[in-house]
Amino acid sequence: MICCICRNATEGEDRARGMATNTANTSSTMALDGGDHPRPLSLLGILTLTLLALLTLTTFLWNCLVLFTIWRVKIFHRVPHNLVASMAFSDSLVAAVAMPLALVNEIHRYRWLLGRLLCQLWISCDVLGCTASIWSVTAIALDRYWSIKDHLEYNLKMRKCISNSMIAFTWVMSTTISVLPLTGWSESNTSADMEVCFIKQAPLYSVLSTIGAFFLPLSVVFFVYWKIYKVTGFRQSTNKQNSIIPTMQIIDNVKESKQSPQLTFPAEHGRASFQPAKELWNSRKDRRAALMVGILIGVFVLCWLPFFICELLKSLSSYRMPNIWHSIFLWLGYSNSFFNPLIYTYFNRHYRKAFRNLLLSAQC
């Protein structure tokens, strides 16, 4: 994502300075024994890399399962599942290309040994997949808001048209941000002596790409969830359960029994209040959808906000963060591709049922 662009540009520049001044930074360069052989990884390093490898594998398999389920089950061949498929595809792209190459870079302690072509592939797929994943979360939040707010006017035909438009916008925006570094605005670079994959980026590109890839969709999802909260909160306060309420003049007409107090009154002195069962079901469904969107947005913010704040600070100032923290924030952002399908399918009983059926059929 922008992550590769900004993080590796910083690493390359810092390492170039370090080589020019013959100073070693153990947090960002590979420690050597005798100047020729890398030091063996510590136990903590081995455990960390193992966990990252498991995260990469499970993210890829989980998103592939979602895609396979949508393709296999006919009820998912409609909106909003096309938005979920777009999100799962972008997350699987991150897990299939960006995360494995980032893991290789971690294993070699930020030395890039795979050549210029794979460097460009890593950068492009990282930007494309992560940006598309972020905008897909935004599209799902918008679709849920419109379906809750205007569930009568937001019919199937309109929903299909709008969702397809949002998918097209997501991938056009993501492709534009990912291609620009390779078209002259910024230039990817691998140096034979430094062995670092990074991008020489223009400050303007860095700021605009960070805004387009994160801060703009972040502002949209915050606004959308605020509107969802207002709509569902208003409906919850106005919806009434089925009830029969006595009027004030007959409150004293209470007869005590040995089992429990009973209130009796003539029918003409009561007020009945009934709510259609369909409205009650829709109200519960809307609140559940709002909860799902809230958790999806919350996890998205927790995963990506630390990284993009640091990247924006670096773009606007000379601030430099230790490489260990760059790696932590980068992989925290990558983990969002694991949580996205997990959250969405957990709150959708049709997906849970489809998963069980697929697993049962696979066993048979």
- Give the chain's domains with CATH numbers: 2-16+42-240+276-357 (1.20.1070.10)
φ, ψ for residue 363 (rounded to 5)?
-70, -35
Contacts for 108-117: CB closer than 8 Å, 24+ residues apart: 108/30, 109/29, 109/30, 109/31, 109/38, 110/11, 110/15, 110/28, 110/29, 110/30, 110/196, 110/323, 111/30, 111/195, 111/196, 112/190, 112/195, 112/196, 112/197, 113/195, 114/197, 115/190, 116/188, 116/190
Cα–Cα distances (Å) from 279 to 85, 242, 284, 290, 350, in that order, read 30, 12, 9, 16, 21
Q: Is 189 exposed, middle or buried (0-12, 13-18, 19+ CB in 10 A)?
A: middle
pTM here is: 0.77
pLDDT in tens, the chain (364 residues): 554 444 444 444 444 444 334 333 333 333 334 344 556 778 888 999 999 999 999 999 999 999 999 998 888 888 889 999 999 999 999 999 999 999 998 998 888 888 888 888 898 999 999 999 999 999 999 998 888 888 777 888 888 999 999 999 999 999 999 988 777 665 545 454 457 787 666 778 888 889 999 999 999 999 998 988 887 765 555 554 444 555 554 444 444 444 444 444 454 544 544 445 444 445 677 778 788 888 999 999 999 999 999 888 887 877 777 888 989 999 999 999 999 999 988 888 888 888 888 888 877 6
* Local structure of 252: helix, strand or coil: coil
CA dist 336 → 58, 59, 130 (Å): 12, 9, 9
